[in-house]
A and B are shown apart, each in its own frame.
Chain A
Amino acid sequence: MKRQGGISLRNLIKNELIKIFKKKTIYITMIVIFLLLIFMNCMFKYANNGSEYNYYLYNEDYIESLRNELKTLNPDKSSDVTTYINILSEIQLSEMMQQYKDAEWKLAIINERISPYITERNTYQYGAEKNETQVEEINKQIQSLTEKLDGNDWKYFAKEDLSQANQQIESLYQQKEKTEDTAQLKNIETELKTAETEKEIAEYRLNKNIPYGSDYLNRALSELQTANMNLTNYDSLDKELEYQEKLEYNRYLEAQAESRYVLDTGMDINKTDSLKGILQDFYAQFGIFLIVVIIMIAGTIVSEEFNKGTIKLLLVKPYTRNKILLSKFITVLIMIVFVIIVTLIMQILIGGILFGFDSLADPVVAYNFNTNTIQEMNIFANLGIQTLMQLPMIVLLATLAFAISTIFSNSTLAITISLLGYMSSSIINQLVIGYHLNFMKYFVTMNWDLSIYANGALPYMEGMNMNMSILICIVYFLIMIIPTFIIFKKRNIKNI
Chain B
Amino acid sequence: MHGKTTTIKLILGLQNITSGKVIINGYDIEKEFTHAIKRVGAIVENPDMYMYLSGYQNLKLVANLYKGITKERIDKVVKLVKLENRIHDKVSKYSLGMRQRLGIAQAILHEPNLLILDEPTNGLDPEGIKEMRELLVELATKEKMGVLISSHNLAELDNFCTKVCIIKNGEVIETSEIAKIKKAVGHEVRLFEVDDVNCAKKVLKEITILDDHRFKINLPKEEVPGIINKLAENQVKIYEVKQEEKSLEDAFFEKTGGNIIA
Binding site for B on A (CB under 8 A): 8, 11-12, 14-15, 18-19, 22-24, 308-310, 312-313, 315-320, 490, 492-493, 495-496
Contacts and interface: CB of A to CB of B under 8 A. Distances in A.
A317 B63 CA distance: 11
A310 B16 contact: no
Nearest to A321: B33
B64 A11 contact: yes
Contact of B61 (A15, A309, A493): A15
B48 A312 contact: yes
A18 B65 CA distance: 13
A319 B60 CA distance: 17
Residue with the highest number of chain B CB atoms closer than 10 Å, among A14, A15, A23, A316? A316
B201 to A, nearest CB: 54
Contacts of A315: 12-14
Contacts, number: 78
18 contacts: A12-B65, A15-B64, A22-B50, A23-B52, A24-B52, A310-B50, A312-B44, A312-B48, A315-B14, A316-B13, A316-B14, A319-B34, A320-B34, A490-B16, A492-B15, A495-B45, A496-B45, A496-B46
A319 B65 contact: yes
B46 A309 contact: yes
Contact of A492 (B5, B16, B62, B64): B16
- Counting chain A CB atoms within 10 Å of each CB, which of B15, B37, B44 scores highest? B44
A22 B57 contact: yes
Contacts of A308: 48, 50-51
B52 A316 contact: no
Contacts of B50: 19, 22, 308, 310
A310 B34 contact: no
Interface string B58-79: 0011101110000000000000
Contacts of A316: 12-14, 37, 40, 42, 44
Contact of B49 (A14, A313, A320, A490): A313
Given A317-B37, A493-B14, A310 B48 contact: yes
A312 B14 CA distance: 8
A19 B61 CA distance: 9
B208 interface: no
Contacts of A19: 50, 53, 61
A493 B9 CA distance: 8
Chain B, interface residues (CB within 8 Å), range: 20 to 34
Nearest to B10: A492
A320 B49 CA distance: 20
Given A23-B52, A308-B48, A313-B49, A320 B33 contact: yes
A313 B34 contact: no
A309 B45 contact: yes
Interface in B115-155: none
A304 to B, nearest CB: 10
Given A313-B48, A313-B49, A316-B37, A11 B15 contact: no
A22 B52 contact: yes
A318 B62 CA distance: 11
B169 interface: no
A490 B46 CA distance: 23
B85 to A, nearest CB: 22
Contacts of A317: 37, 62, 65-66
Q: Which 6 residue pairs are nearest across A and B when measured between Cβ atoms?
A: A493-B14, A318-B34, A492-B15, A318-B38, A310-B48, A313-B48
Contacts of A18: 57, 60-61, 64
A12 B45 CA distance: 23
